[in-house]
Each structure stands twice: as C-alpha cells, then as structure tokens.
Structure 1
C-alpha cells in the first residue's frame, strides 16, 4: 500500500514520503499549508489512489470532539416515548454514529479525513487523543466498546489558525505543503488543463508569481486561485501577449480571481499611480 500521487494530483517526493511514512507507522498524518494548497484534496487522492473509501469529517467552530464518535438523541427518544413508539425500548435506536465510529467499524481499511481541525476549540484535539491513539472508545448509553476492526488511514488538515497541543502533535506524522515553485506549479496546471500552450503557462505563471511576491500583499493568491484564473483566461481565449502588463496599469487581467480583498486591490492601484508619476 503505497502512495505516489495520481494522474489528477501532483505529489512532490517529500509529500509521498510523508504519506507513506504515516501509513507504515499507523499514525495520523497532520497536513498544514496555506489555504488552497491542496490539503483536503490530498486525502481524497490518497483514498482514490489506494482504492479505499473516504470518510470526511468537516470541522467547524461549533464542532465538539464527541460528535466524531456518536451523538445520543435524547429529545427524539422522549418524544417517541410520549407517542408510545416501541423503539424507545432500545437506546441504540437513538445513537447517531459519527465519522470515527463509521471508520472504526468499516469492513475494510478506509481513509478518515478530519478537515481543518484548527477551526474548533483549543481542547478539541486533546479530546481525541485517546480515541486516535487506542483506536477505540466507550459508548456510555449502551455500555459497549467500539474498537477499530482495521486501523484507518487518518489525515488531519490545519490552516494554522490555532496552535495545536504538543501532546496531539507528538502522536502525528507532520507534513507542511510548501507553495509550489514555478516548475511544479506548471505541472499542476498541465494536469488540470491538458493541452494548454506552454507559452501561455509561462506568461501566466510569470505574472502570477510577480503578483504573489508583491511586497505588502495581505493575502497571497493560492494554487486553487491560479487555477481559477487560468480557467478564465482560457475561456476568454487570451494569448500570452494579452497578459503583458505595463506597471502603470492598475490591475492584472481578471484580477478578481487572484486578489480577494479591497486592501490588495488598493495596493495595486497605488503602485500603478506611483509608476505613472515616475513616467511623467
């Protein structure tokens, strides 16, 4: 069982090493990186490459760790008891299985994605330590212990919005997805847009990296955003020469795909104003 990327996902050598090391160690793979660098997609591609089912747990600010195990619907049970429903005699009818329970009891190995763990409360990772370490948990309402039949491949993503506890980090294999260099990004573009002209890729990525490396930029455009931008360039049938931008021009073509807040738009407008002033 080895991951080397897929036809739809360019995995760098260090990424492939990290994924395969986590699989061999049977440790959760903690993946960090800028938003839009393909952290969530990595879990999906691991599942697809290895022919495994993917179970996703999308974490929100209100998510509690216990929801990953199960939820007991006491309200529905009370309502059914008032209506004389015979199901109330078995509390198991009111247990909703969470993604960890489904992953633990799957008939074969699965990939479990815990997406954006840093969105939740700071205690959220600590509350999952024992379950992810021992691969089991106790259901108080039914008195049963749920144990993993086959240890799932666990992928945990984080956008670094919060620091994760040391005790949690110690149990994970860590990988940081660095922003790809121009050559790697060109390979990623070619995967998503087969047949795109190399000249257009060169012109677009040259301008993209100029934008991304502009001093003072509040939010740097990501991999997903350059793919959106290229999709629009192709839809408008633009040629490489159409992308050449004079410094005195305020904004790049279709800038809304790359610049996502008014501060960065104003930054480019100011830079263009300064360039026009130097010319006059």
Structure 2
C-alpha cells in the first residue's frame, strides 16, 4: 500500500512533532523550513521523506556564491557565441543552450519530487527574497525563449537552515517552520539502535551518560552531535576500549570534539571529576 503520510523510516527516527510538521507542510503545499543545530538530521530528513513516500529527491546545495537564478536555469551564451563563430548548426535554437537548474528540474518532473534546498542561509540576504515568486506560484519565466516553466506537480519542498543569518520575514511567512530539538537521551537511544543492531546495553548506557555529560559542560563551544556519537561508538568498538574506562577517560575524544579549546576544557573537567 502506497504511503501518503510521513511516519519516519527504519533508518530515520523522527519525533511526533517533526512528522506532524512534514505532513502539515505537504497538506498545505507550503515549503517546510527546518532549523536546528548541526547534526540533528536536517538534510537527512528530505532523504527520509523521499524514501518513505517513494519519491525522487532533488538536492540543491546552496553555497555563498549561489544565486536564485542558478536554481531556475542557465543560458550558455558563451557556447552559443562559440558555435556561431564556427558555423555550427542549431545556433538559432536557443533552447539548445538552456540548462535547467535544480528548481527547474523539480518543476518539470512528471511526478511529484522532494526538493531539498539545503543550507539556504549560506547565500546572501537577497537569495530567499529572490525565490518568493517561484516558491509561491511554482513557475518562472525564461525571457530568452519567451517560455514560462510551470510545475506540473507541486514538489514537496524542504528548506534547511543552520541559523547563520536571519531570513527575511516575507520568506518566513510562506513557510511552515519547525525547529529540530537536539534528541533527548531516550530518543538518542532509539537513533543509536538503528545504526547498531546488537550493541551491548552497558556500553550504550556508558556512552550516553558520557556524551550528555560532555554536552552540558558550559565551556564547550561546539557540542558533539548525533553523527559524532555514532562515530564515537564505532571508534570505541574498533579500539576494543574497556567499558569501565569510557566515562573515566573519554577515549578518542577527538571523534567527539573538533576544537582544541574544547578538548582542553574536557580534559580539565575529567581531572576535576576524578
């Protein structure tokens, strides 16, 4: 039976609040804006929605240099000029020099796709505003060919942000918003069990206790995330670390912490705890 509501997947554990936000955004046909600290599964959410609903995923990775136009289409005027100079055929066919961007690709899909606009806040401040019409009306105009590209089936749009910049109010009004809270210990245990089938319970509990103790140290600048605890467990298993040493020594702390200052803070707190 075809799934029409997002209920998470075997590999993606979602809270009830997150699943509700996804399904409301789909029902209202509005973009879902997802915020949350790094490592909370924002990007993976779009992948999970695609798998759960059996829909193709189109990913538009945003960079500091990305312009809204890049997502619509690119007109290769240089190649057309080159072809005209060498007398190549088809120069009058402008369509030949038009390449759709990720937004254009999603609009032109015969079937509904999941469109991920990843890390929208990396671009300049005008970027979100430049997409207002296209996200609202699900269409854009190509003046070179005098053609309007309109979505045949409205894509499911997921937009992620790391809150590096404030997004414009006009953009926010058009989105459903959800902040992914960092998983509590109970939910984190579920997430870990997805990645490790037969993890010893004592090891799991020691890892969780140590991990959340580190996260609550106020001086830690970049707190370890979900991806780091998964990697850390793998490192502990590969290293054959004695379970009783985990909280006492925090072996392989460089897997969890990525700043020299944070490693120093951790060592200081380990010393105090002893």
Please give the range of the TM-score, normalised by the shorter of the 2 chains. over 0.9
Extract unaligned runs of 5+ from structure 2.
none
Out of 259, 273, 276, which is 2:257 matched to?
259
**Distance across 1 between alignment mates of 2:207 and 2:72:** 46
User: How far has the Cα of 1:83 moved from its partner?
Assistant: 1.2
In structure 1, the residue matched to 2:152 is 149
Alignment partner of 2:7 out of 4, 7, 14: 4
Other-structure match for 2:201: 198
Match for residue 93 of structure 2 among 87, 90, 112: 90
Distance in 2 (CA, whole Å) between partners of 1:271 and 1:188 is: 27
> 1:162 maps to which residue?
165
**What is the alpha-carbon distance in structure 1 between the residues aligned to residue 247 and residue 34 of structure 2?**
36
Q: Is the 8 A contact 1:62 1:120 kept in 2?
A: yes
Q: Once the two structures are superposed, what CA deviation does each residue of 1:45-87 show, in whole Å capped at 9, x if it has no partner?
A: 0000000000000000000000000011111111111111112
Does residue 1:21 correspond to 2:24, yes or no? Answer: yes
Q: Distance between the aligned counterparts of 1:256 and 1:92, measured in 2?
A: 52
Tell me, in whole angstroms, the C-alpha distance in 2 between the residues paired with 1:113 and 1:265: 34
SS where residue 96 of structure 1 aligns?
Answer: strand
Bigger mean CA offset, 187-196 vs 83-92: 83-92
* Alpha-carbon distance in 2 for matches of 1:196, 1:50: 30
- Structure 2 distance, partners of 1:177, 1:244, is 28
1:238 Cα deviation after fit: 3.0
- Whether the aligned pair in 1 keeps the contact of 2:207 and 2:247 (CA below 8 Å) is no
Query: Residue 35 of structure 1 corresponds to which residue in structure 2?
Result: 38
Distance apart, 1:239 and its partner CA = 4.2
Aligned residue for 2:190, secondary structure, equals helix
Among residues 51, 54, 59, which one is paired with 2:57 in the alignment? 54
Deviation at 1:128, TM superposition (A): 0.2
Per-residue deviation at 1:267? Answer: 1.5
Larger mean Cα displacement after TM superposition, 233-242 or 75-84: 233-242
CA contact (8 A) 1:104 1:135 kept: yes
* Alignment TM-score, normalising by the size of structure 2: 0.96
1:112 to 115, 128, 140: 115
Q: Are 1:66 and 2:69 matched, yes or no?
A: yes
Q: Secondary structure at the match of 2:206?
A: helix
CA–CA separation in structure 2 for the residues paired with 1:47 and 1:239:
40
1:63 aligned counterpart, secondary structure: coil
Aligned residue for 1:56, secondary structure, equals strand
Instruction: Tell me how far apart the structure 2 counterparts of residues 27 and 240 of structure 1 sit (CA, whole Å).
Output: 48
CA RMSD of aligned residues (A): 1.3
Q: SS at 1:19's partner residue?
A: helix
Count of residues in correspondence between the two structures: 271
